[in-house]
Amino acid sequence: MKDMPQLGMGTFRLEAEQARQAVSDALEVGFRHIDTAQFYGNESEVGDAIQTSGLKRADFFVTTKVWYESLGEDQFMASVHESLEKLKLEYVDLLLIHWPYPGDDITLESYLNRLKQAKELGLARHIGVSNFTIDQLDQAEKILGKGEIYTNQIEVHPFMQNRAVAQACRERDIKVTAYMPFAVGKVMHDDTLTAIAKKYDASAAQVVLSWMEKRHIYAIPSSTSKTHLAENLAYGGVQLSDEELEAIDELDNGERIVDPDFAPKWD
C-alpha cells in the first residue's frame, strides 16, 4: 500500500494478547493501517496479528517509531532491524522518530540522516517524525530536503487542535497525523459533540473522525472493542455541515494530554 489510509488503528497501551486480538479485529473489520512503536512493547503481537490475517503485504500499511533512547549511531539501525524482526516484515511503510532527542549529545542531523538511510536501505517506504515543533520541522527539512518528511504525528483532538503546527505541516506538504484523537475518551462526554452525534445517529467518535478528515488530519485512534473499531471505520456516514465543523473548531482550549518531561518546548 503506497499511501497512508485516512484512518489507522493506534496500539498505544495495548499489551500482549489484548494487542494481538485488537489488531486482528481491526484488520478483520477493514482497517488497513496499524500504528505501533518500539516503546509500546507490542510489535511482536502486531506482527502476529498481521501474519495470521491472510492479507497480502501490498494491502496494508504499518507504521513504527524509533524510541529516543535508540537514536544514537550504535543503536538506531539495530533497533529498526529488531522492530522488523518482531513485526515479521521486510519493511515498514512508515518509520518515524518518536520524539525529538531531548539531550545534546546526539544531534538532530545525525539521527535524521540515519532515518533517511533506513529508507535508502529499503527498511521503510516513507519516513517521518512525531512530536516535532515548527522549528524542528524547519531544521529537519533543511537536513533531509523538501518532500522527505511524510508526516508529523502529533496530539490533536477537538480540545487541543495544535493549529500552528498543523498549519506549518500543511505549508510544507507534510501530512498531519493525530494521536489521541478522542482525548482519552473525553470527546464521548462533550455536549457539543454528543448533540451533533445524536443528529446523525452516530457516535461522538465518528463525528470527531469526520471533522478530522474535513480538516485534512489523519487519525490513529485506539480501541479494544471490535464494535467500536467497526463504528470508527464507518465514520464516513457522518457528513458535517460548515456550521457543525466550526462548532467543533471552537472547542479548542489547548488541553494537552501528552506532555512528558522529555518533551520539546511546545509551540
Per the annotation, where are the binding residues for substrate?
98
C-alpha cell at 152: 508529523
Residue 124: CA count within 13 A, CB half-sphere:
25
**In angstroms, rounded to a whole number, what is the distance separating the alpha carbons of residues 35 and 140?**
22
**In angstroms, rounded to a whole number, what is the distance separating the alpha carbons of residues 194 and 230?**
19
Q: Does 40 qualify as catalytic in the annotation?
A: yes
Among the options 40, 150, 179, 218, which is catalytic? 40
C-alpha cell at 181: 484523537
Residue with cell 511482536: 44
Around Cβ 25, how many Cβ atoms within 10 Å? 20
Q: Distance of alpha carbon 14 from its chain centroid, rounded? A: 15
SS3 245: helix
Instruction: List b or e across 236-252, with b for residues whose CB sees 16 or more CB atoms inside 10 angstroms.
Output: eebebeeebeebbeebe
Query: CA nearest 137: which of 103, 112, 163?
Result: 112
Residues identified as active-site: 40
